[in-house]
Structure 1
Amino acid sequence: MFNFSELRLVHIDDHLLFAQGIYSLLGQETFIEELIHAENFQEGLKIAIHHQPDIILLDYFLPDSKGIESIRQLREACPTSKVILLTMETNPEVITKCRNEGAVGFLPKSISKKELLDALKNVMEGIPTFPAVTEINPKVNRSQSKLNILSKREKQIANLIAEGFTSVEIAEKLFLSDLTVNTHRRNLIQKLGLKNSAQLVAFIENLKFSE
């Protein structure tokens, strides 16, 4: 049985308001000895290496790292830490990949305080915490339907972005100006309700997983 009087956590999330909410919720708990927030992956990785926490709460969407690669690096650098995804991502294929990569939990950001505390307890007692596939399939369908609002050119550019091409390379491939490609990139992010290009790449890749 794990001693909950000394739980040490690192939370990696670039949403500062959400992170402050987590700190407010968990900071009240007497069993948490240490709770450190990092607003990007590289900072979080350094903190995790130094502190070797019991649990790392990780957002799937980070501006400087993809979710799967983030888990891989954290597992290599902190083999005794338990990685839990706390994120808006709900694609079942992504969840399966995260689990296969060594994550022990996958929680939605809409989770209640009680659900979060229960998940922490379960994970520290060796019980993985993952949603059932039936709970998350509708989100995939909604994501697929978002593509219907995109033009043929926007879909083409979105796929090239997901394949790792820069705006300059896309412009050369499609015989467009850099300005035109960057305009399409901004429109894609806005239409799909995303924050940045990193989320756009993850969005397109997740749809490919579900095909």
Structure 2
Amino acid sequence: MLNFTELKIVHIDDHLLFAQGIYSLLGNETFIEKLVHAENFQQGLSISSKLQPDLILLDYFLPDSNGLDSLRHLKAVCQESKVIILTMETNPEVMKKCQGAGAIGFLPKSISKKELLDAIKNAMSNIPTFYFLLPISHSTQRPQSRLNILSKREKQIANLVAEGLTSSEIAKQLFLSDLTVNTHRRNLIQKLGLKNSAQLVAFIQNLKYSES
């Protein structure tokens, strides 16, 4: 059960069957006050500008707008709304552009109900959820599988970073130099396709939540 009440959500997607599926998944959730569907971008923009929803679920491919342009227009009109891209797009470069344009999530349409609810909880807690952070050959992997590219030491340091420890504190605990820890942190951020330590913390915390 999510610790949020009375959320207003707008879902913008031109595929009616998928939209009906989203409604069947979320329509009976008690934490949602209103769930509105728009079948194209212009309709979604009009509804969102009036409703000012807490969350917008946005398809990247719409008949009347480019996905990135859609995102930018929505963020300009609904500055407080969280936007999650819910799409069939698997290009990591597109994901990064959406991330840079203000999306708080980028999810495949193949996700489960639990994964969608997790992403909504994360969004309302200002925690990003991005599934496509690896090169395109690995783009369908879930967040947990991304850890397979990390060494045992990197995983250890990632968990300590997520617990809020500084590089100096990690170095003392693991009997390493500050320089070594900082090098590992840079490698972690690069391997996982993140931008900074804050995103690394959110990424690890997101994994721990989804496992609980």
Larger helix share, 1 or 2: 1
CA–CA distance in structure 1, aligned partners of residues 56 and 137 of structure 2: 26
Amino acid at match of 2:18: F
1:11-160 to 2 correspondence within 5 Å?
11-134=11-134, 136-138=136-138
Higher relative contact order (CA 8 A, sep 6+): 1
Instruction: State the shift of 1:136 in Å.
Output: 4.1
In the other structure, the counterpart of 2:202 is: none
Normalising to structure 1: TM-score of the pair?
0.63
CA–CA distance in structure 2, aligned partners of residues 66 and 28 of structure 1: 31
CA–CA distance in structure 1, aligned partners of residues 12 and 56 of structure 2: 8
SS of residue paired to 2:130: coil
CA–CA distance in structure 2, aligned partners of residues 50 and 105 of structure 1: 23
CA–CA distance in structure 2, aligned partners of residues 135 and 122 of structure 1: 24
Alignment deviations for residues 30-61 of structure 1 (CA, whole Å, 9 cap, x no partner): 10000000000000000000000000000000
Alignment deviations for residues 93-112 of structure 1 (CA, whole Å, 9 cap, x no partner): 00000000111100100000
Instruction: State the shift of 1:137 in Å.
Output: 3.0
Question: After TM superposition, where is structure 1 displaced by more than 4 Å over at least 4 residues in a row?
Answer: none
Task: Say which is worse superposed, 129-138 or 20-29, in terms of deviation.
Answer: 129-138
Normalising to structure 2: TM-score of the pair?
0.63
Unaligned stretches of 5+ in structure 2?
141-212
CA–CA distance in structure 1, aligned partners of residues 120 and 27 of structure 2: 14
Instruction: State the shift of 1:135 in Å.
Output: 7.1
